[in-house]
Amino acid sequence: MLTIENLEVAYFNAIQVLKGLTLSVDDSEVVALLGANGAGKTTLLKAVSGLLPLENGAIGEGRIRFQDQLINKTPPHELARAGLLHVREGRRIFTEMSVEENLISATYALTGRDAQPDFEAVYNYFPQLKDRARQTAGLLSGGELQMLAIGRALIGQPRLILLDEPSLGLAPKIVDEIFDIIARINQEQNVSILLVEQNANAAFRIAHRGYILEGGKVVLEGSVADLRRNPDIQTFYLGLG
Ligand code: ATP
């Protein structure tokens, strides 16, 4: 589904953030990407979804392939239309618009103005959003905003979703609820998911494999079962040390 080989990324202020990163996400797989603040996780997602040129960054060496196509230079709207959706950190919802209008705008962006939004594709997973369809999105709770952000991606019939810190700022119970739904979306829709998280416990609950990023490189990778047994992961990521 997604393969990244030896990726190097720098911002125009000359900070090199990714220094030869290699990773892959298979069909129908949930892959967790963990790493300390500043390791380059968000930068990697922006490189994949084509956002770097909009944010003063650029890909140097390396290759990114999505469904066997080289996408190093593909713009974000084309990738989104091909089924590669990025749910950005901070949720990025239009707070002045209603829930439904946010879903309509996502539909227009993804499929053009004649398209009929498939609200049920979203409400099937997030029934709470249906109850709030006409409400201004700015009044939603943090958990509901995250649901709406994922809902906007779902409306694009995704093949791969890049999820940046969906647990950020949410109470543990809401995190569990949202992660259960992410797992259902993965299983029922055969959507692959690349999940960037600080909350390793939550990520490992739904991921199949994981990568640890340090200083712009992968320093450890493996199945979630193997990563859970690693003493460093237990100490630094799972709070067990
Ligand atoms: P966090 O969990 O804190 O978001 P991260 O692993 O996602 O961390 P990135 O956001 O990718 O890390 O940031 C990696 C490095 O790149 C940091 O040193 C950051 O300051 C720098 N950086 C990020 N965005 C830009 C930008 N637009 N211009 C210049 N430098 C940037």
pLDDT in tens, 75-101: 999 999 999 999 998 778 888 999 999
Cα 38 to ligand 1 centre (Å):
5
pLDDT tens digits, residue range 167-203?
Answer: 999 999 999 999 999 999 999 999 999 999 999 999 9
Q: Is the CB of 13 under 6 A from ligand 1?
A: yes
The pLDDT assigned to 126 comes to 96
Please give the model's pTM, rounded to 2 decimal places.
0.94
The pLDDT assigned to 116 comes to 82
- The residue-averaged pLDDT of 124-135 equals 95
Q: Is the CB of 43 under 6 A from ligand 1?
A: yes
The pLDDT assigned to 8 comes to 96
To test ligand 1's pocket by mutation, which of 7, 15, 44, 194 has the most ligand atoms within 8 angstroms of CB? 15
pLDDT > 80? residue 240: no
Q: Is the CB of 12 under 6 A from ligand 1?
A: no
To test ligand 1's pocket by mutation, which of 12, 13, 16, 17 has the most ligand atoms within 8 angstroms of CB? 17
pLDDT tens digits, residue range 143-152?
Answer: 999 999 999 9
pLDDT tens digits, residue range 25-55?
Answer: 999 999 999 998 889 999 999 999 999 998 8
Cα 187 to ligand 1 centre (Å):
31
The set of long-range contacts for 39-42, using a CB threshold of 8 Å and a minimum separation of 24, is 39/213, 39/214, 39/215, 39/216, 40/9, 40/213, 40/215, 40/216, 41/164, 41/196, 41/213, 42/89, 42/164, 42/196
* Residue 62, helix vs strand vs coil: coil
The amino acid that residue 155 corresponds to is I
Rounded CA-CA distance 226/135 in Å is 44
The pLDDT assigned to 111 comes to 75
Residue 48: which of 20, 76, 12 has the closest Cα?
76
